[in-house]
Structure 1
Amino acid sequence: MANELNSANLPRILVVDDEAAIQRFLQTVLDAGEFSLHRAETGHAALAAAAAVRPDLILLDLGLPDLDGVEVIRRIREWSPVPIIVLSVREREDDKVRALDAGADDYLTKPFGIAELLARIRVALRRSVQQAPEPVYRVGELEVDLPRRRVTAAGAEVQLTPTEYELLRLLVTHAGKVLTHSQILRQIWGVVYLEQPHVLRVNISNLRRKIEPDPARPRYILTEPGVGYRLRAE
């Protein structure tokens, strides 16, 4: 059962993990007046807590004693868009892809750095409360004005093909979130291209050449090896 640890006026985070050491660690890291923490140790308890607490964000381990974490994600996604960040010891690419395809917003492999965890939480919470459906994305010297369909890099306007623009728009609207290869292929090219990942690689490469200061060391479009891509959010 979830236990409230902080004021209900703070962002509510549901921590789902059956390891007491991880629960204590996350309580120490997050219980600093910034969040209201709730806990669940099993998949079924997590589903009940998600419905009762209505958290602003869920930190979820995949290796639960009753339900696989991916199944928990699928069930929550049937009724809630709450941001879900997976924290797992599973390092295999297919585990990450399964979780992200099921609806997770991000994936961190244990052990992880505290600063990175807090940054991912801030990004996920910021995305979840963003009101404007067509935001102006700015980071570094890159600006993407979606309402005007205008892209500039280092102050110069960038000319993109329609496909490149739609690809960038998809990344912008999910900035900070890992998008798997299959998610991107399905959204931009359709299901018939799911077995043609080279199409995505070519377009990402072309896009990087146009917007990145150094395409060989991308600052904006980040690769999640074997999984997909993430647009830098801060």
Structure 2
Amino acid sequence: MSKVIFKTAEEIELIRESSLLVSKTLAEIAKVIAPGITTLKLNTLAEEFIRGNGAIPAFLNYNGFPFSLCISLNDQVVHGFPSNYELKDGDIVSVDCGVIKNDFFGDSAYTFAVGEVSAEAKKLLDVTQECLKRGIEKAVSGNRIGDVGYAVQDCAESHGLGVVRELVGHGVGRNLHEKPEVPNYGRRGSGMKLLEGMVIAIEPMINAGRAGVKFWNDGWTVSTVDAKLSAHFEHTVAIRKGQADVLSTFDYIEEVLNKV
């Protein structure tokens, strides 16, 4: 796909429906994420919940990816495989989820703290979520892709953190990955102009140490070059005048986590 596919108001509502189902799926994960549970169990629960709500796991078999969730632990950045690994106190775990419902995709990710995490991990999670918020603030009609990337980069680097460059956000619609690419770095006023009808996934991937990453032989998993922690938060967002329309939400997740 070489050009941006603009969405009608009706299509944006269908993407919202898919995105909110992703958000609810991540909240189901939040209910059970704790020391001792395997990441494979999280994958099974997510798939059952998605199918139970009349949708299809978007990641399963996408370009051959063998699972319904990307689960990336600690120094893994993204695209990690669920496994028999049992979560441990102090782990951080990025859970990235996508669904297809009514032919439209939704995509969101949240990095969870398992039990008590280090001060370094807590800072990384807080700053990465703030990076996402700052990026979304710039995702309005008339701004440019570079404005979004700059906002993310500036937030991360002002806290001494590394911004992953090899992986980017993307357009979302009838396909999981559409134009435009949405880097987490950039120059203000540069790149494609954002216009109403565009729907993008903004997804800061921020490292506690160096920005560099390495790609695993499994063809999917990406981890930090220095084995330091990485965090990842993602929302699907519709471009509007004045203020972005965030189609996914962390509210369901935070409601669960705040009860614990």
Shorter-chain TM band: under 0.3
TM-score, L = length of structure 2 = 0.25
**Higher RCO, 1 or 2 (CA under 8 Å, sep at least 6)?**
2
Structure showing greater radius of gyration is: 1
